[in-house]
Amino acid sequence: MRSFVTTISALGMAAGIVFAMPANIAQAADPTLSKKDFEEAKTLYFQRCAGCHGVLRKGATGKGLEPATTRKLGQKRLEKIITIGTEGGMNNFDDLFSKEQIAKLATYIQMEVPPPAEMGLAEMKKRWKTYIKPADYPKKPMHALNWKNFFMVILRDAGKIGIIDGDTKKVVTKLNTGYAIHVMKESSTGRFWYTQGRDGLMSKIDLWMNPPKVVATAQVASDARDVAVSHYGKWKDKYVIGGGYWPPHFVILDAETMEPLKVVSTRGVNIDGEYVNEARVAAVYNTPNAPTWMVAVKELGQMWQVDYSDLDNLRIEQINTHKFLHDGFFDPTQRYFQIAANASNRMEFLDTETRKAVGSLETGKKPHPGLSNVSAYGTD
């Protein structure tokens, strides 16, 4: 049994709009917030805005929100934009935020960007937690339920995973897995599931336990989106990878223990020759026919094919495509990978055997495919 879960969050802030202020209007005093209000606004921004506008507020899918731009708009105009959205694609937030929260957020994005913390391997290992040691895992299912027909359901705002028995349609259990789980993917047998929360917390779940339990966790970033497991050859279920938005990197972990093993930064030079500090990992996918993962580095406009057969001599093909990379899927042969470059209104096509780009197709505005889109293709 395979379960695919997609969570979509509206995160726009000021897409597609340009405003100007007459030069003769005097500059207002620098915007300020109390420490308490600042922390609240920073949290709101992380939860609802950073996905489109970036932790550093330089913009990506959404416009840049640095003080040089936002102060020209002013407090009232920013509050209106956050409240009702824009014609450029940003949704309204008056159904999520109170008027007071909107005012705080409007002030916050006029202030200088607080420097976000980095996170290295040593810090990740400090945050790595084992709840049940692998030696103590059960040797057979400890319940009589048909675990191969469990449905794994993301309870995003509750910070939980719900497990439903597909035979009886009853809830088996709910597990605490951290803030806003974005994606979860399974081991080759389907027994273990690995989750990635937007707070960078990765969890490992064992379906054989009664009830199923989280057996280990590791935090690999402060903001993250995706996870994948090694499924090929002798490396089957040996490694798991987590992709970070901030810090912009990916982390390879031991799939059995969840110990973080290797960190690789994705900062670099994009397809236009510009250095990008906030080059985020939008998605990661296991490649069925090779010991590799496909890593979408959003702002670089590059797919990185990461070979996990030798972690000490890590081989990475940096494949130029278009910006900004998002979600994708394999064709029925499981050789060719397709992914959206939504800011370029394109789908990109890659051959995972030759590890090269083989095509690019113009689409409608901001294509956003799901993992199950492969079902639209026949197998004959």
Which residues belong to the active site? 49, 52-53, 90, 326, 368
Rounded Cα distance, 14 and 5, in Å: 28
Distances in Å between the Cα of 111 and the Cα atoms of 44, 75, 100 are: 15, 11, 17
Q: At what angle do helices 99-108 and 35-48 cross, to 10 degrees?
A: 90
Rounded Cα distance, 71 and 31, in Å: 9
Compute φ and ψ for 333, nearest 5 degrees: -75, -15
Rounded Cα distance, 15 and 33, in Å: 25
- Is residue 40 within a helix (H) or strand (E), and if so which, with residue range? helix 35-48
Three-state secondary structure call for residue 251: strand
Q: Which of 148, 175, 150, 176 is nearest to 164 (CA)?
A: 150
Q: Which of 194, 193, 145 is nearest to 172 (CA)?
A: 145
341-356 burial: b if 16+ Cβ within 10 Å, else e: bbbbebbbbbebeebe
Take residue 150 and report the two structure tokens written for it. Answer: 């469990």
